[in-house]
Chains A and B, each alone.
Chain A
Amino acid sequence: MEKYGLKSKFIRKGYRCMKYSYYPGCTLRTKAKKLDDYMRASAKVLGIELEEIENWQCCGGVYPLSSDEIATKLSSVRALNEAKEKGQDLVTLCSACHHVIKRVNDDMQNVEDIRTRANNYLKFDEPYNGETKVLHFLEILRDEIGFDKLKEKVVNPLTGKKIGAYYGCLLLRPSEILAFDNPENPTIIEEFIRALGAEAVIYPYRNECCGGYISLKAKDLSENMCNNIVNSADGFGAEMLVTACPLCQYNVTKNSEKDLPVIYFTEILAEALGVKEEVDAQ
């Protein structure tokens, strides 16, 4: 239980003010604005207060894997440190931002070379050593609010809808660092779908990659992968897919032959909480 972040559910729920630092990221300001808008409206209903990090910088989209990469990790460290100075946990929504910031935070906790060199460069008032807790918005719903409480807040249950969760790769792997859910048999988005009153469709390709950045130069490869995902979901009876990642949403929509809608998980959340129309009218 502890491995997948479930321990905090029992320690923390109900004993603290739900006020967090929030890191939206580049795509949530542009092409994926709706992912952010639906979340903000839903957070208001659920009593989650989010303070956007001032002057945040793009996370870079992919985590720099080489052990000698420092400069490419600094934007994440700045955001992490700002949350630390405010004494808040840092909330993310985009899968890519979450992946990058969480992994950089792990480096700052555990890799002495990166920690020393990043701190030498950034010269904060106090060195940053990975103190901030990074939470994806879905983890707030599961661990801080609880899916049982979320269910009570639903005014417009999505009864009868068959929805498949599309996790992709960024939220789950590597599981020892992301510690988000079981990487091969995740349940968090399915539980989320059920809390909203819909039926969760489980299909084999839900944690397979959509092709990510490869669709820029090798579209056929992404098409192959996205067709596998959509055919798998369709075969198991899903009427739509939900995702937390703007790039997954784009690839799976654009690069598959079947016309299966792929939408953000925050859209069905806003719909169930009765605030979707208000956001759409903005």
Chain B
Amino acid sequence: MSHGNKNQAAKVKEISGTNPLKCMKCGKCSASCPAFDKMDIKPHQFVSYVVNEDVEALAKCESLWVCLSCFACVERCPRDVKPGKIVDAARQIVVREKGGNYLSANEIPELVEEDLPQQLLVSAFRKFRR
């Protein structure tokens, strides 16, 4: 295991303000998740990846871009582990790197519809890029 991964795992814990070791693996987060079907790494697994300091796998996973931060997992976690905050921290680590943006401004004209609310665009820009 590289030092990079160890540092990255520490960073995830720091900016998410969570303690993944508190997880008792009940799976309630994944059972609550409305994006579960689309996730390659499920919310409860996300927590284990951070415990095992394998942030490299998290940085490449599809789940980063389908988590909605709807906070169903955070609200229902009986151990207050906050899986949604862990996913968001991993996403931040990716988009803060050069070339890490998931959404480009050039894509917007093709994606926009007539009555699409501004709220959607500002939210997507905050979540998908720096």
A161 CB, nearest partner CB in chain B, Å: 25
Find the B residue at minimum CB distance from A222. B68
> Do A218 and B75 have beta carbons less than 8 Å apart?
no
Q: Kindly specify which of B20-28, B52-60, B117-125 makes contact with the partner chain.
A: B117-125
User: What separation, in Å, do the CA atoms of A209 and B89 have in the docked complex?
Assistant: 20
User: Which residues of chain B come closer than 8 Å to A216, judged between CB atoms?
Assistant: 103, 111, 120-121, 124
Q: Quick one: given A31-B115, A169-B70, A246-B117, are A26 and B88 in contact (CB under 8 Å)?
A: no
A154: CB under 8 A from chain B?
A: no
State A177–B75 Cα separation when bound (angstroms).
Answer: 11
A250 touches B34 (CB 8 A): no
Evaluate contact between A96 and B71: CB separation under 8 angstroms: no
> Which of A27, A183, A209, A224 is in CB contact (< 8 Å) with B68?
A209
B122 touching A60, Cβ below 8 Å: yes
Q: Known: A58-B122, A214-B66, A217-B111. Contact between A209 and B34, CB under 8 A?
A: yes
Nearest CB in chain B to that of A178: its residue: B71
Q: Do B117 and A32 touch across chains, with their CB atoms under 8 A apart?
A: yes
Chain A residues in 8 Å Cβ range of B117 = 27, 30-32, 246-247, 249-250
Q: Is the CB of B120 within 8 A of A60?
A: no
The 0/1 profile, CB within 8 Å of B marked 1, for residues 146-186 of chain A is 00000000000000000000000100111100000001100
A51–B58 Cα distance when bound, in Å, is: 46
Whole-angstrom CA separation of A66 from B92 in the bound complex: 8
Closest A residue by C-beta to B111: A216
Q: Which residues of the other chain, B, contact A247 by a CB distance below 8 angstroms?
A: 117, 119-120, 123
Q: Known interface pairs A208-B34, A221-B38, A224-B37. Does A169 touch B119 (Cβ–Cβ under 8 Å)? A: no
**Binary interface profile of A, 36-75, with partner B (CB < 8 Å = 1, else 0)?**
0000000000000000000000101110111110001000
B126 touches A64 (CB 8 A): yes
Cβ-defined contact, A218 with B72, below 8 A: no
Interface size on A, residues (CB 8 A): 44
Q: How far is the CB of B128 from chain A (nearest CB, A)?
A: 8
Q: Across the interface, do B116 and A250 meet the contact criterion of CB distance under 8 Å?
A: yes
Q: Is A236 part of the binding interface, using a Cβ–Cβ cutoff of 8 Å?
A: no
Question: Are the C-beta atoms of A68 and B119 separated by less than 8 Å?
Answer: no
Which residues of chain B are near A66, meaning CB under 8 Å? 15-16, 88-89, 92
CA distance A25 to B118 in the complex (A): 10
Are the C-beta atoms of A183 and B75 separated by less than 8 Å?
A: yes
Closest residue on chain B to residue A65 by CB atoms: B88
Contact of A26 among B34, B103, B122 (CB under 8 A): B122
Confirm or deny: B42 has a beta carbon within 8 angstroms of a beta carbon on chain A.
no
**Nearest CB in chain B: distance from A49 CB, A:** 26
Query: In the complex the two chains form, what is the Cα distance from A34 to B38 in whole Å?
Result: 35
Given contacts A32-B117, A209-B34, A225-B34, contact A67 B15 (CB under 8 A): yes
Pairs A–B under 8 Å by Cβ, sample size 13: A31-B118, A61-B119, A66-B16, A66-B88, A72-B126, A169-B70, A173-B70, A211-B34, A211-B68, A216-B120, A216-B121, A217-B65, A221-B66
Instruction: Across the A-B interface, give the 9 residue pairs with the lowest CB-CB distance, nearest first.
Output: A61-B123, A209-B70, A173-B71, A61-B122, A213-B123, A169-B70, A66-B15, A213-B124, A65-B88
Q: Which residues of B contact A (CB under 8 A)?
A: 14-17, 34-35, 37-38, 65-66, 68-72, 74-75, 84-85, 88-89, 92, 102-103, 111, 113, 115-124, 126-128
Q: A30-B118, A62-B126, A209-B68 known; 12 other A-B pairs, CB under 8 Å?
A: A25-B119, A26-B119, A64-B126, A66-B88, A72-B126, A169-B72, A172-B75, A173-B74, A209-B34, A209-B72, A216-B121, A221-B38
| A interface, CB within 8 angstroms of B | 25-27, 30-32, 58, 60-62, 64-68, 72, 94, 96, 169, 172-175, 183-184, 208-209, 211-218, 221, 224-225, 245-247, 249-250, 254
